[in-house]
Amino acid sequence: MLTQILSVTFISLFVITTSAQDTTSARPTVVTLGDSITKGVRSGVSNKQTFSAILDRELNHDTLNLGIGGERTDQALKRLDDAVIRLQPQFVLVMYGTNDSYVDQGKSKSRITVNAYRDNLTQIVNKLLLAGIEPILMTPPRWAPDARANGVNENPNLSLAVFAEACRSVAIENELPLIDHYSHWTSAESNGRDLNTWTTDGCHPNPAGHAEMAKLILVHLRGIRTPNTELESIELQLETVIKPLDPSSKSLWFHPRVRCGNRTKVVMTAQKLICRTRQVFVRQ
């Protein structure tokens, strides 16, 4: 018997089940994951004024803010399982880059490289997808033009712009929703907006800045969020069918046999497997 062994670096799999009856659950629908911009609370910004709090009010008190000041993608990856995945939210808004890209005083390079940032972000979204959670990537807002120069005497936007582009590429490569605050704030500035009127210090949003971020997020969330949905655990059988999309492509469709407990529910599955290594066939 031939057994096909695949060395796999990425599987995205989620199942959404819908039911005519409302369901109650302690888990949040939306988790906001990020750094101090996500945490939001600081001098001049109360807990009720953060973009996460605004989302919570608009989404029936179903949003949990898990932002931590100063956090980078490598640090977020370490706490992802315990802090986020165990809660099993439907959506996680992931926004990093401001700290990852920053060049500290006395340094000549950003805190982590853009390649490391891209890899960390990819691992974060992959882990969420594997857990049946839908990640939504967000670029951070840009700095004000008169923000304090970084360690190489440049406006931090010069470095942040590169990381924002990396975030966009991760969204495209993984076919994920993207909320592009960086582009939105750049466009606003080009149209005459003084970004200092949206920030407390040229970087962190003030109440007006948080309201602007929440407005953009809600446009996207209301377009993809389905009321009365719940995640359903599934069991994958060994007789999985792997169908190549394109002989020259490394992407494959992954078709599992699904077993769910409640047969009255409608089950929708979406799967993608990316194999970055060769296939090996073993005779048993």
Residues 199 and 276 reside in one and the same domain: no
Asked whether residue 106 falls in the same domain as residue 168, the answer is yes
Residue 48, phi-psi category: left (phi > 0), alpha (psi -120 to 50), beta (remainder): alpha
CATH of the domain at 198: 3.40.50.1110
State the total domains in the chain: 2
pLDDT for position 134 = 95
**CA distances from residue 164 to 37, 97, 158, 249 in whole angstroms, order as listed:** 15, 7, 10, 26
Domain-located, residue 15: no
Q: Is 61 helix (H, G, I), strand (E, B) or coil?
A: coil
Is it the case that residue 139 has pLDDT exceeding 80?
yes
Let me know whether 188 and 126 are in one domain: yes
Q: What is the pLDDT of residues 225-268, one digit of tens each?
A: 655 555 454 444 444 444 455 556 555 444 444 444 444 444 44
Is the same domain home to 76 and 167? yes
The distance from CA 147 to its chain's CA centroid, rounded to whole angstroms, is 26
Give the pLDDT confidence of 141-196 residue by residue, as tens digits.
999 999 999 999 999 999 999 999 999 999 999 999 999 999 999 999 999 999 99
Clarify whether residues 193 and 79 are in a common domain.
yes
Q: At 168, which helix (H) or strand (E)?
A: helix 157-173
Q: How far apart are CA 41 and CA 78, in angstroms?
A: 23
Closest CA to 9 of 280, 276, 281: 276
Q: Facing residues of 199 across strands?
A: 205
For residue 271, what pLDDT is reported? 47
Identify the CA nearest to 29 among candidates 129, 128, 133, 123: 133
Q: Is the pLDDT of residue 133 over 90?
A: yes
Q: Is the pLDDT of residue 34 over 50?
A: yes
Structural domain containing residue 155 = 24-224
pLDDT score of 224: 77
Inside any domain, residue 147: yes
Q: Are residues 195 and 237 in the same domain?
A: no
pLDDT band at residue 3 under the 50/70/90 scheme? very low
Amino acid letter for position 167: C
Q: Which helix (H) or strand (E) holds 22?
A: none
pLDDT at 39: 98
Of 178, 199, 224, the domain-final residue: 224
Q: Is residue 38 part of a domain?
A: yes
The pLDDT assigned to 223 comes to 80
- Report which residue type is found at 274: I
pTM of the model as a whole = 0.75
Instruction: Tell me the CB-side half-sphere exposure of residue 92, using CA atoms within 13 A.
Output: 30
Cα of 138 vs its chain's centroid, Å: 6
pLDDT for the residue numbered 277:
38
| Whether residue 202 is found in the same domain as residue 235 | no
In this prediction, residues 4-29 reach a mean pLDDT of 46
* 214 and 255 part of one domain: no
Contact at 8 Å (CB) between 127 and 81? yes
Token pair listed for 163: 């990381």
Q: Going edge to edge, which strands form the sheet with 266-274?
A: 229-231, 10-18, 266-274, 251-255, 241-244
The residues, ordered by sequence, that sit 6+ positions from 115 with a Cβ below 8 Å of its Cβ are none
**Of the residues 208, 224, 240, the one at which a domain ends:** 224
Does residue 159 share a domain with residue 81? Answer: yes
Return the SS3 of 45.
strand
pLDDT digits (tens, 9 = 90+) for 35-65: 999 999 999 999 999 999 999 999 888 999 9
Residues 107 and 125 in one domain: yes
pLDDT for residue 78? 97
Please indicate, yes or no, if residue 16 is contained in any of the structural domains. no
Which residues, in sequence order, are CB contacts of 116 under 8 Å at separation 6+? 73, 74, 100
Q: Are residues 76 and 130 in the same domain?
A: yes
- The pLDDT of residue 60 is 84
Statement to judge: residues 106 and 207 lie in one domain: yes
Report the phi/psi class of residue 250: left, alpha or beta, with left for phi > 0 and alpha for psi in -120 to 50.
alpha
